[in-house]
Amino acid sequence: MPFAIRMHRTGGPEVLSWEEVEVADPAPGEVRVRHAAVGLNYIDVYHRTGLYPLPLPSGLGLEAAGVVEAVGSAVSEFHPGDRVAYAGGPVGAYSQVRCLPADRLLKLPPAIDFQTAAAMMLQGLTSAYLLRRTCHVQTGDAVLIHAAAGGVGLIACQWARALGATVIGTVSNEAKAALAMAHGCDHVIDYTREDFARRVREITGGAGVRVVYDGVGKDTFAGSLDSLQTCGMLVSFGNASGPVPPFDPLLLSQKGSLFLTRPTLMHYTAKRSDLLALGTELFDVVGAGKVRIEVHQTYPLAEVAGAHRDLEARKHTGSTVLLP
């Protein structure tokens, strides 16, 4: 029998247990995929802690790459032996083999190996919709990207630079600063030591940036608003430091008729046509060498609890892959 990570209650990394599971034949519209590599994402922490509630008991994980083993009836796009990858629900990617709806899969270009695919799908598709759908980044824009040396960060910074933006990144230490500078950032700010909003004003000659991409949440929300130009947009897309507390929308008016959106990848890829379009844009920038996918950590899937500990302790850079 195959193994998977299961959780029976929310809590710390210790709630993640490696268990034998039964995997049925694929239902109509489903495929069964044998995973070669599984992605680690911050949303997995929110699911584990219960910040984003899941019905329990549950599997975990939203991203993996592998080979199609079997297809259910009414599946014509995929065949056994196809190399595929996915990012998004239903949860359960922390597993050796699983069934999932065929319309969530993308076929992998031959040049993209499984570990790269598992590292890039969720963070890369996220970068795609952040930069190309929420606020369409264009040549000459100044943008601020928090946690620039992280999984989404390294991909988004390179991509924003390739789009012609001036990229300002924030990080928590010198090693991460060097990494962010080598991956698309024009300027890096250590937001644990400096007032990043003031530095952004200095860098932009007082104007502020057109858009802030903020996956840090609670600790950066106020400073992110203070970093924007008039009519700029805050894209608040994560809670690595905790969720943003309630605030008065009048603030948006007082700080320059600002726009705020709190998006999620799931809505931007809900339609298969949208998923395919974003996937093509992602494979294109990676294939063209404009965005390099950096797998900086790997862990055996069975030891994913340690990966969660390190992620929450801000020890990771780039992307992390779990090996089933």
Ligand X SMILES: NC(=O)c1ccc[n+]([C@@H]2O[C@H](COP(=O)([O-])OP(=O)(O)OC[C@H]3O[C@@H](n4cnc5c(N)ncnc54)[C@H](OP(=O)(O)O)[C@@H]3O)[C@@H](O)[C@H]2O)c1
Question: For ligand X, which is the closer residue by CB, 3 or 46?
Answer: 46
Q: What angle do CA 67, 31, 151 make, to 5 degrees?
A: 60
Tokens found for residue 310: 């390190």
Q: Does 216 bind ligand X (CB under 6 A)?
A: yes
Q: What angle do CA 214, 220, 223 make, to 5 degrees?
A: 105
Given the rule CB under 6 A, which of 40-48, 222-230, 283-291, 295-303 is the region that contacts ligand X? 40-48
* Residue 236 near residue 214 (C-beta atoms within 8 A): yes
* Residue 242 near residue 218 (C-beta atoms within 8 A): yes
Using CA atoms, how far apart are residues 181 and 184, in angstroms rounded to an integer?
Answer: 6
Report the residue from 97, 152, 282, 291 that binds ligand X according to the rule CB under 6 A.
Answer: 152
Report the residue from 49, 58, 172, 298 that binds ligand X according to the rule CB under 6 A.
Answer: 172
Q: Does 137 bind ligand X (CB under 6 A)?
A: no
Q: Does 171 bind ligand X (CB under 6 A)?
A: yes
Of 20, 47, 34, nearest in space to 83 by CA = 34
Report the residue from 316, 321, 322, 324 that binds ligand X according to the rule CB under 6 A.
Answer: 316
Sheet strands (E) in the chain: 3-6, 17-20, 30-39, 63-71, 83-87, 97-101, 105-107, 142-145, 166-171, 187-190, 209-214, 228-236, 259-261, 295-300, 319-323
Residues 93-122, mask of contacts with ligand X (x by CB under 6 A): -----------------------------x
Question: For ligand X, which is the closer residue by CB, 30 or 115?
Answer: 115
My answer on whether omega of the bond before 57 falls inside 30° of 0, hence cis, is yes
* Beta-bridge partner residues of 159: none
The number of residues that bind ligand X (CB under 6 A) is 30
Question: For ligand X, which is the closer residue by CB, 78 or 213?
Answer: 213
Q: Does 132 bind ligand X (CB under 6 A)?
A: no
Q: Does 184 bind ligand X (CB under 6 A)?
A: no
Closest distance between ligand X and the C-beta of residue 265, in Å?
Answer: 4
* Residue 268 near residue 274 (C-beta atoms within 8 A): yes
Using CA atoms, how far apart are residues 60 and 51, in angstroms rounded to an integer?
Answer: 14
Rounded to the nearest 10 degrees, the angle between the axes of helix 114-129 and helix 272-287 is: 110
Report the residue from 5, 43, 62, 301 that binds ligand X according to the rule CB under 6 A.
Answer: 43
Question: For ligand X, which is the closer residue by CB, 147 or 275?
Answer: 147
Q: Does 321 bind ligand X (CB under 6 A)?
A: no
Q: Does 215 bind ligand X (CB under 6 A)?
A: yes
Q: Does 150 bind ligand X (CB under 6 A)?
A: yes
Q: Say how many C-beta atoms besides its own lie within 10 A of residue 109's C-beta.
A: 14
Q: Does 87 bind ligand X (CB under 6 A)?
A: no
Closest distance between ligand X and the C-beta of residue 307, in Å?
Answer: 11
Report the residue from 115, 126, 229, 269 that binds ligand X according to the rule CB under 6 A.
Answer: 126
For residue 217, CA distances in Å to 47, 122, 166, 169, 188 come to: 16, 19, 22, 15, 19
* Residue 105 near residue 86 (C-beta atoms within 8 A): yes
Report the residue from 265, 291, 295, 322 that binds ligand X according to the rule CB under 6 A.
Answer: 265
Q: What part of residues 235-254 is at the interface with ligand X (CB under 6 A)?
A: 237-241
Q: Does 264 bind ligand X (CB under 6 A)?
A: yes
Question: For ligand X, which is the closer residue by CB, 26 or 215?
Answer: 215
For ligand X, the binding residues (CB under 6 A) are 41-43, 122-123, 126, 147, 149-153, 171-172, 176, 215-216, 219, 237-241, 263-265, 311-312, 314, 316
